[in-house]
Amino acid sequence: MTSSESLPPILYLSHGAPPLADDEVWTKQLAGWSADIARPSAILIVSAHWESAPLTVGATETVPLTYDFWGFPQHYYDVKYPAPGAPALASQVSKLLSRPGNPVHQDPARGLDHGAYVPLVEMFPNADVPVLQISMPSLDPQELFEVGRKLAPLRDEGVLIIGSGFTTHNLQRARFGDTTGWAEGWTKEFDHWADEVVERMDVDSALNFLDVAPAAQLAHPRTEHFAPLFVSLGAASELKLGAHSTIEGYWYGLSKRSFQFG
């Protein structure tokens, strides 16, 4: 067991898209964030870009990345992130999440998708921390919250749990290429609400965001990019961790707000 002084936090981050790598401000923010946290023994990441039921564990050895995007310049497909696999962590996850008649599935060929590797390239550029990605078995907030609660004991083993999404995500209203910090009113309203709710650990409001948050339907026409937050909230709530915002602002008109728990 890792001492309490060196335990990693739990994170929810906005991961952007492959061009995040070209944004000097955001890359420095991510690098600075990771420099200030305890080095993890491994990373367990839940990305908005992998929905699969039953819950599935990705590759436990180094395999090629999953380039789950289209129409970008070739150099974004040339990015590599050969992080070690985490078979021992995969075994722990299976024990924590498997239920009678409903085991955790394995997908040994699936590499990290861009919701995982894009931020990790900036935060852990040496690719020397073992990484394991798991799928979201549904987008139901309560189900994902329970997944997070069950994963909470991994923090005592030094595992960094990351939910990777985007605090607002409406590509129909995005202003692609705009990194000036411009944003419409709806994304500002939802961003402000999310900041207040998460920082006070108001789990009920977060889980019911579609009913109570301002501009929720505009901020998330589909909820997969907010859903990883619920895994992080579940783990943090189980461990009674506080929350604070670490990155804020707007990119392509979308909120890149990110949170640290603990």
Q: Which domain holds residue 234?
A: 4-261
CA distance 118 to 48: 13
Look up the CATH number of the domain holding residue 217: 3.40.830.10
Torsions phi, psi for 49 (to 5 deg): -100, 10
pLDDT at 5: 64
pLDDT at 101: 80
CA distance 200 to 193: 11
Provide long-range contacts, Cβ within 8 A and 24+ apart, for 172-175.
Answer: 172/221, 173/218, 173/253, 174/252, 174/253, 174/254, 175/252, 175/253
Q: What is the mean pLDDT of each run of 10 residues along the chain (262 residues)?
A: 74 97 98 97 98 97 96 96 97 94 93 98 98 98 98 98 98 96 98 98 98 98 98 98 98 98 98
Q: Into how many domains does the chain fold? A: 1
- Residue length, the chain? 262
Instruction: Give the global pTM.
Output: 0.97
Strand partners, 150: none
Strand partners, 13: 164
Strand partners, 161: 10, 44
pLDDT at 2: 46
User: CA-CA distances (angstroms) from residue 170 to 58, 128, 166, 167?
Assistant: 27, 34, 10, 10
With tokens 């861009």, the residue in question is: 114
Contact 239, 257 (CB under 8 A): no
